[in-house]
Structure formats: structure tokens, C-alpha cells
Amino acid sequence: MRSKIVAGNWKMNKTLSESKDLVKEIKKSIKGIKLENTRVIIAPTYVNLQKVSKSTKKSAIEVAAQNMHQADSGAFTGEISAEMLKSVGVGIVILGHSERREYFGETDALLAQKVDQALKNKLEIIFCFGEVLDDRKNENHFKVVESQIKNALFHLDASDWKYLVLAYEPVWAIGTGETASPEQAQEMHAFIRNLVASKYNSAIADNVSILYGGSVKPANAKEIFSKEDVDGGLIGGAALNADDFSALIEAI
């Protein structure tokens, strides 16, 4: 059975002491919540990964990195490797976030290399993709999502898919306050699941968690999360506040 997941991407927010405080608050506010088949993941900035990962050790919270480099090691100033992530207790990495694609020029081809590198190191991947507003307006959104998934993931073996979580994040809904309707999210998630089933098989498609991301907040989460093919959310803004984040976990 696939897991439900609420994952918070903290982006370039929170100093070390702010991160520690937020973890403390999240731990406190999720104490009373029954996490049946539900995973809670947070992705702080690189420099706080080790401390945050230590402070979540005895809790239900898992820690992810927001990115990583595709090479093993070497002269790549400012970059972080998969092995480094593992060495500080991190087992999950977010790849392909639209901000990485837009501001740092990450292409499908580069992301395919990052995916391979993460898998080589047995890191679980939250793989993000999604269309921009023009694609949606021109009704190209299915085509765009299909090519993003095919280009970065369809060279993988069936056995690799247990390391994958997919995150559909329409770019027009990220940090804009604009959310895809629950029906739009369901329609795309069902499309993605069918795509995976037709390339691999229905067991793999049924077992992969597909998250929705884009301005999810306590007020709209329940409706979005109630859709059959929506297995949770990748959360930006609302993950920076413990009450909001725990409300999203409660919603799922």
C-alpha cells in the first residue's frame, strides 16, 4: 500500500536556531496525531541538515535535502554530494523542484543524472515536475508533465521505483496563493499513475505516492487530499509554521 506523505520544503528559510525551534514546535503539535501509514518529512537548508536530522531521530519526522549534485565528488564549488547527505543521516532528497529548474537551469537531462546518482547511493527521491501557466492555458499540461517524467525517470528499472515519490507541482500554483482545484489535481495525478502503469505495470503505479504541491494550506488541504490519487502534499509556505503544518498532517 502506498504511503500518505506530508513533506515540508523549507527552501532558503530558517537559521539554525529557528530550525531547531520549528522542529520542537512540530514535534509538539503532531504528538496527538495518529500517523497511520502517513509519513512526515521536512527539508531544511543544507547547513542545518545534520542538526535537524539529529533532533528528529526519536520522532516520526524524517529529514530530506532540497537538492544534491550529480557527481560523486570533485571540483564543484558550493555543491553537495549524495554521499555527504548520507553521512549526516539524510536518506531523502528533493529533485527537480521548479525553482531549481527555473533559477538554476536544471534540465530534464541533468535531473536524470541526479536521479541516477541518488539511486546509486540508495537515497529516496521526491521528484518534482509540473507545467507553467502558459502550458496550462494552451492545454499542453499533460504533454509537458509526460515529457518531464519520461525524460528524467523512464530509463529506470522497475526495481528503482520503490525509491521514488512523485510530486506534481503546477508552477503557476507555487507560492502564488493560486491552487489547482481538487479536480485538476486528481485529473493530473490519475494521468501520471496511468502513465507509470503503461510504462511499467499497475503494481508499481499503485504503489508510488504522488504528492500535490502548490499553495496547499489548512483551508484547502482536506479537499485536495481527499482525492483518490492524491497521496499528500509537498508544502512550501505553510510548512514554515508548526500549527499550519500539523493542520495539514491532520487533514490527511
Work out whether 215 is an interface residue with ligand PEP (CB under 6 A). yes
The set of residues, in sequence order, having a beta carbon less than 8 Å from that of 192 and lying 6+ positions away, is 145, 149, 166, 168, 210, 229
Work out whether 169 is an interface residue with ligand PEP (CB under 6 A). yes
Closer to ligand PEP at the Cβ: 81 or 130?
130
Candidates 78-86, 145-153, 195-203, 212-220; binding stretch for ligand PEP (CB under 6 A):
212-220
Residue 189 catalytic? Answer: no
Task: Say if residues 87 and 68 touch (Cβ distance below 8 Å).
Answer: no
Residue 36 catalytic? Answer: no
Q: Cell numbers for 109, please give them.
A: 537531462
The contact mask relative to ligand PEP for 122-161 (x = CB under 6 A, - = no) is ----------------------------------------
Tell me, rounded to whole angstroms, the distance of Cα 110 from its chain centroid.
18
CB of 75 to ligand PEP, least distance (A): 30
Helices (H) and strands (E) in the chain, counts: 11, 8
Q: Cell numbers for 214, please give them.
A: 502548490
Q: Cell numbers for 184, please give them.
A: 485538476
Closer to ligand PEP at the Cβ: 27 or 97?
97
CB of 175 to ligand PEP, least distance (A): 4
Q: Which of 213, 246, 247, 251 binds ligand PEP (CB under 6 A)?
A: 213
Work out whether 62 is an interface residue with ligand PEP (CB under 6 A). no
Nearest to 212 by CA among 191, 243, 240: 191
CB of 198 to ligand PEP, least distance (A): 27
Work out whether 9 is an interface residue with ligand PEP (CB under 6 A). yes
Work out whether 214 is an interface residue with ligand PEP (CB under 6 A). yes
Chain positions contacting ligand PEP, by CB under 6 A: 9, 169, 174-175, 213-216, 234-238
